[in-house]
Structure 1
Amino acid sequence: MLLLYNIGIQFYGIVVRIFSMFNSKASFFIKGRTNIFEKIRNQLDASSSYIWFHFASLGEFEQGRPVLEAIKEKHPQKRIVITFFSPSGYEIRKNYPLADGVFYLPLDTPSNAKKLIALFNPELAVFTKYEYWFHYFKALNDRNIPIFIISGIFRPKQVFFKWYGGFNRKILRFVNHFFVQNEESLELLSSVGIKDVSISGDTRFDRVSQNAADPKDIPAIQNFCSTSKVFIAGSTWPPDEQLLSKLVLQHPDWTFIIAPHEIDNAHILEIQKLIPEAIRYTEMPANPEKSQVLIVDNIGLLSSIYRYGDIVYIGGGFGVGIHNTLEAAAFGIPVIFGPKYDKFQEAKDLISIGAASSISNFEELDNAFEKLIANNAAERAKKYVMSKIGSTDQILTHISKYF
């Protein structure tokens, strides 16, 4: 099985290299890893040790960020190094000020793992939610460097819990302690003999509550919203935008802000074809004539834009799964999303308390819009988020013993 794993890693690298010739994300993936060990060697102090945080992408960074920042606040002398697997995380957070270095994670090979860990000299490693790399975990384990998974979540259909998942379970056993989101995850890990597990909840609740307590002002957005009611659509994809274009026509008295997940020019132009009167955030004049729809063609603003909304639509539910609902809920804003939300406990919870609705077509979207406005869902959303905070303190108390 290890042989197949190694072949799979090499094959993945070849495929990405081919795609890099015509795909910008793949190009970033390859270029960012070129001479990576030389970049690390030049930036880090070889005589120091570091706390290593790894994140798959930007979402996992925001999820693990409260733990990282709590460590830095309580132990300011600690040095921190961050790796990302995805360009969407690295390119946005490569200048993150609390880290001594931010790098792409090289592909998981035995030689890469040994080189990276020798350069980082980590006193411990923290991985957020998922990403289980055999050679990195083994190299850490071989050097007795503690590995922690925070905000972990497991489901019965995952390979770890199948009869043929022995190799994958071996990766799990390299981990010193799992901090998981729910009881089901604890029971699943226990069923395969893993006992070093705590239910700590999801650190995203801590992060979104921090963001809602001290949001960034965006005067241009505030000016655009004026005094009208505001519908915000975050992390949308084309199927979402098809429905939203109809909703715009149905509710001319509302202002709409659409922040698509992909902001390349081709995608923005497709949205403008659907909604010709929409204006772009980056082209918005200082005193624009009133438009009903604004397209946010900029990264990094969405979590602060939610503060201006009265109701929010979260995209992704007609694809692989919905994006982050908690950023909006933390501001006390009810949410709507597509049908694929089964992997997200918070989405199920928000529906159960009447603070969210799942829709499959335009009629259901329009009905959910009217329903959530009328039933005082906003207060329920905020209370739900506040009831779930505290995961960061629990995790920090435990891992601080290893400093």
Structure 2
Amino acid sequence: MINIFYNLLLWLILPLLVPYHAYRSLSRGRRTAFMERFGRIPAEELELIGDGGVVFVHAVSVGETNAALPLLKGIRQRFPGKKIVISNVTETGRSVAQKSKAADLCIYFPFDFPFAVRSVLETIRPEVVVIMETEIWPNFIGVAREMGIPVLLANGRISDRSFGRYLRLSWFFRPVLQRLSALCMQTPVDAERIAAIGAPAAAVHVGGNLKYDIPVVKATPGQVAEIKAKYQVPTGCFVFTAASTHEGEEAQVLSAYRDLLARDPQSFLILAPRHPERAPGVAELIKKEGFPFQFRSALDGSGPLPAGGILLLDTVGELAGLYRASDLVFVGGSLVATGGHNPLEPAACQVPVLFGPHMENFREIAALFIKHCGAEVQPADLTGLKAELLRLSADAALREELGRRGAGILLESAGATDRHLNVMASLLGQGGTRG
């Protein structure tokens, strides 16, 4: 009965989905996107995976895709004969997946209509499906189960904020969770929560957080110089990067930057909105505040931008490189109530990190940063952010120490990839083979 109502709702919204996604696909020159969302993959794309065994990995957007990269690398190493297909929902997620070159084929995840799901799975016929974090699509999981394709929920987490909602809707989620072959949750708390919602306890594993398994690499002075030249970042400046910012945060970051310039005019800000399509609106705010700036997409290689200016990142997939040329990084989504973003990516570059009070989606990671680096890494508000920015900008030795401690969190917490691959190994061979 639940499934009937769910599918009825999908059919009711179909008339809205078709024109909207047809327009987006055509207006952005991505004709195949519309076909893929409805389960049709062009033959020329399928040639990229041949007729061998396939591992299908779904990562909804940028964060999930970045978290999946260590796992994709591990699949390559442990199962070298397998082809990898990765699907995304967002355009930014797909862009990151394509630039990473970690998969043989990148596609858009199908809408959760049974006909679209079945078309994709019958075309690719994966040996195993891996769904990153807590993407629960009833028809996709159900059709895979009917076809004998095992489904692994990887890097699963249930946030404090969403747990109560999941519990209230456990009547809906329990039948779906029961169809999963295995669930690798990040922490024991996440494992307990997913079992309470309805997952079979015997299928639940504590796999750890894949986001800890990114390599720790500190850029050499030569590499830093090369990155700065590429992005026209002035040399000799203190480089402050505000990453993955949301509406309401850019104004606070600019206020903090103004205070920094008042004390040290030889500073430079790299500002990266979480959603690049917001860049024009952020640019208007920067103009209003009177700062010189340049869009990343408009850099012309003519030489360094001025000290006291701003590089506004309006592209996807370049932030990780800019972390390596930064002296301090603030991770956004945390001064406003959106749950925060991942501070491990800049920490892997041995760069000191700050984040605000709203880190509900990364509670475990935030707690480790506070434990290893001190409570100061999490200023409670704009006043605290300003104080830490001024303190750290004036103390290179402290920045070096905090960068080392942050990188140590990754080194001490690594190992999730191997645990996930062990579970995946037990599932491989149970699914289909293309022919």
**TM-score (norm. length: structure 2):** 0.82
- Structure 1: how far apart are the matches of 2:286 and 2:25? 23
Q: C-alpha deviations, 1:106-149, integer Å up to 9, x for none?
A: 21112122211111111111111121111111111122211111
Q: 1:259 aligns with which of 272, 280, 300?
A: 272
- Structure 2: how far apart are the matches of 1:289 and 1:114? 52
- Structure 1: how far apart are the matches of 2:163 and 2:339? 16
> How do 1:3-402 and structure 2 match up within 5 A?
3-17=4-18, 32-36=32-36, 37-44=39-46, 47-94=51-98, 97-155=101-159, 157-158=162-163, 161-191=166-196, 192=198, 193-207=200-214, 209=215, 218-220=227-229, 224-252=233-261, 253=264, 254-264=267-277, 266-273=280-287, 274-284=289-299, 285-288=301-304, 290-292=306-308, 293-317=310-334, 318-344=336-362, 345-355=364-374, 357-372=377-392, 376-402=401-427
- RMSD in angstroms over aligned alpha carbons? 3.0
Q: CA, structure 1 residues 16+312, in 2 after alignment: closer, same or farther (shift >3 Å)?
A: farther
Maintained 8 Å contact 1:278/1:291: no
Q: CA, structure 1 residues 275+304, in 2 after alignment: closer, same or farther (shift >3 Å)?
A: farther
Maintained 8 Å contact 1:277/1:291: no
Maintained 8 Å contact 2:185/2:191: yes
- Structure 2: how far apart are the matches of 1:164 and 1:96? 36
Q: Please tell me the residue identity of whatever aligns with 2:194.
A: L
- Structure 1: how far apart are the matches of 2:127 and 2:42? 17
Maintained 8 Å contact 1:313/1:337: yes
Report how far residue 26 of structure 1 moved: 11
After superposing the two structures, state which structure 1 stretch, 33-42 or 129-138, moved more: 33-42
Q: Please tell me the residue identity of whatever aligns with 1:397.
A: N
Report how far residue 48 of structure 1 moved: 3.8
- Structure 1: how far apart are the matches of 2:129 and 2:79? 16
Report how far residue 294 of structure 1 moved: 2.1
After superposing the two structures, state which structure 1 stretch, 163-172 or 113-122, moved more: 163-172
Maintained 8 Å contact 1:336/1:359: yes
Size of the alignment, in residue pairs?
A: 401
Structure 1's unaligned 5+ residue stretches are none
**TM-score (norm. length: structure 1):** 0.88
Maintained 8 Å contact 1:51/1:79: yes
In the alignment, what sits opposite 2:431? none
- Structure 1: how far apart are the matches of 2:392 and 2:149? 49
- Structure 2: how far apart are the matches of 1:394 and 1:132? 22
Maintained 8 Å contact 1:282/1:297: yes
Which structure is richer in relative contact order (CA contacts within 8 A, separation 6 or more)?
2
- Structure 1: how far apart are the matches of 2:186 and 2:26? 32
- Structure 2: how far apart are the matches of 1:94 and 1:222? 21
Maintained 8 Å contact 1:28/1:87: no
Maintained 8 Å contact 1:126/1:150: yes
